[in-house]
Structure 1
């Protein structure tokens, strides 16, 4: 059984006419008829009742139709996935990314993409707030946490695990928290942009994740500032693992609750809803995703 015959059968049912399918595919009516007949012979079942006025599906045709549609859709998606790779991309892309991602890898990844496509320019804004892509004129937005907006499409890139960390000098001075509840007695550095609230830290429990309310003398809307405060020994920080990965590796910071922190956010590429995004957007998303996956060990 040939996949192109299944696709042709799906088209015949969709258009309801051999002649329309023949015209659309630059074939003759007789070729379309012969290929449907070939499919029926291979299956050993009649698929269509043909009259001069209309085509009607048989029971076998009804049973085959969904599978044929799936083949047609999968074929189109495969073609769409590679469409544009051989083209010269041009134009302009305006995008917004979080500060952490921009400084960690996106600036380099996007600049590399521009070098790969000399006719393309990208304006990348680093902003931790969730911008309105449509209202503010952004073609692409990279953000953590999935949004509920039917006018936008979100493509998952990677998951980002959070950690609770501090320096050995802070622990030596203030004592080690043996369990998350001990954090209420510590100076907790708080990130203002948390969706659950700066003082609500999420942990895993026997009955699922729960929030623990903490307090501290310093908070900021900039995660890099909190990292620096933690590295200086001023308190315990709750931060994305990717931001402090090198610090954890060289021992500058200590992961206080490995596998106990419940916060794990998806990183998404978000763009306005279209049936098929422009090649330049789709290919940039794939390039960004590949860049993240190359250092996935930073994230979880």
Structure 2
């Protein structure tokens, strides 16, 4: 079965006629008819009832149309993803990205993008602070968190889930908390960068709403990697993005101790100033980073 026949079938159904599909694809009516017949022959089912006035889907045709439409959308998405890569992209881009995503995937993705476009230069800073795009002259910012500035345009990438974790040595020595409230009896490692307070950890309530729990600990840092190292050393319990400790969890060096109860989920976005026509270099870079996030979605 040819995937382009599936796409053509979806177009015939959406447009409601063989002639309109033929015109859109610069084909003759007979070619369209033969290709749909070839599809029916391959599947050994009738897909359409044809009359002089309209086309009607058979039961099998209805099922196939849903699948064929997905193939058409996936093909269009793949085409859009690389559209313009053959053109000369040049100029300069100033961007800011959060430290965790920057170190995990964005730095490599952006360096790769620069190699693909020799006429382009990118200045990328790793910073967890919410920079002022317009005032500081940024073309693009990757943000993790809540967006409030309506004068900016945001492209959603994915959600970053947070976890509560500790090393096996810590759990062996101090026990494993079974509920969020039991964290109050433990040394918790505090992430001072958190916008809602370093000692306020979010959990899921019985009513479906999140609630904050005030925890305590003897060590705090504005650097999540420092908290990871402290947790790996068995010095306390950390509340960090899952992507930061993905490999530690897989290797058993850290344990996700409250997997069903943590309530903190933050969106990751590409953000840029409002413009009527987004420059192609930015459009392509945003898409390039999106594909890299998509490939590593299981980390988050």
- What range describes the TM-score normalised by the shorter chain of this pair? 0.7 to 0.9
What is the correspondence of 1:263-278 to structure 2 with a 5 Å cutoff?
263-278=264-279
Alignment-derived partner of residue 40 in structure 2 = none
1:166 and 2:176 matched: no
The answer for the alignment partner of 1:115 in structure 2 is: 115
Q: For the Cα contact (< 8 Å) 1:190–1:216, is it kept in 2? A: yes
Deviations 1:127-175 (A, max 9, x none): 1101111110110000101311122111001110000000111111112
2:192 alignment counterpart: 192
Structure-to-structure mapping, 1:1-300, within 5 angstroms:
84-208=84-208, 209-299=210-300
3-state secondary structure, aligned to 2:246: helix
Is the 2:146–2:267 contact (alpha carbons within 8 Å) kept by the matching residues of 1? yes
Stretch moving more, 79-88 or 108-117:
79-88
Rounded to whole Å, the distance in 2 between the matches of 1:147 and 1:227 is: 27
Whole-angstrom CA distance in 1 between matches of 2:200 and 2:286: 32
Q: Deviations over 1:67-105 (max 9, x none)?
A: xxxxxxxxxx99987763331100000000011111111
Bigger Rg, which one: 1
Please report how far the alpha carbon of residue 298 of structure 1 lies from its aligned counterpart in structure 2 after TM superposition.
Answer: 0.4
> What residue is the counterpart of 2:47 in the other structure?
none
Deviation, structure 1 residue 290 = 0.5
- For structure 2, list consecutive stretches of 5 or more residues without a partner in the other structure: 1-14, 24-52, 54-75
CA distance in 1, matches of 2:140, 2:152: 10
Quote the offset at 1:275 in angstroms. 2.0
**Does the 8 A contact of 1:146 with 1:154 survive in 2?**
no
Question: Residue 45 of structure 2 corresponds to which residue in structure 1?
Answer: none
Q: Deviations over 1:249-271 (max 9, x none)?
A: 00000000112111011100000
Q: What's the TM-score, normalizing by structure 1?
A: 0.73
| Matches of 2:81 and 2:273, distance apart in 1 | 19
- Contact 2:81–2:287 (CA under 8 A) maintained in structure 1: no
The number of aligned residues is: 232
After alignment, is 168-177 or 263-272 more displaced?
168-177
The CA deviation at 1:276 is: 2.4
Return the offset for 1:196. Answer: 1.4
Counterpart Cα distance in 2 of 1:253 and 1:93: 38
CA contact (8 A) 1:114 1:120 kept: yes
Distance between the aligned counterparts of 2:292 and 2:80, measured in 1? 21
Where does the alignment leave 5 or more consecutive residues of structure 1 unmatched?
6-41, 43-76
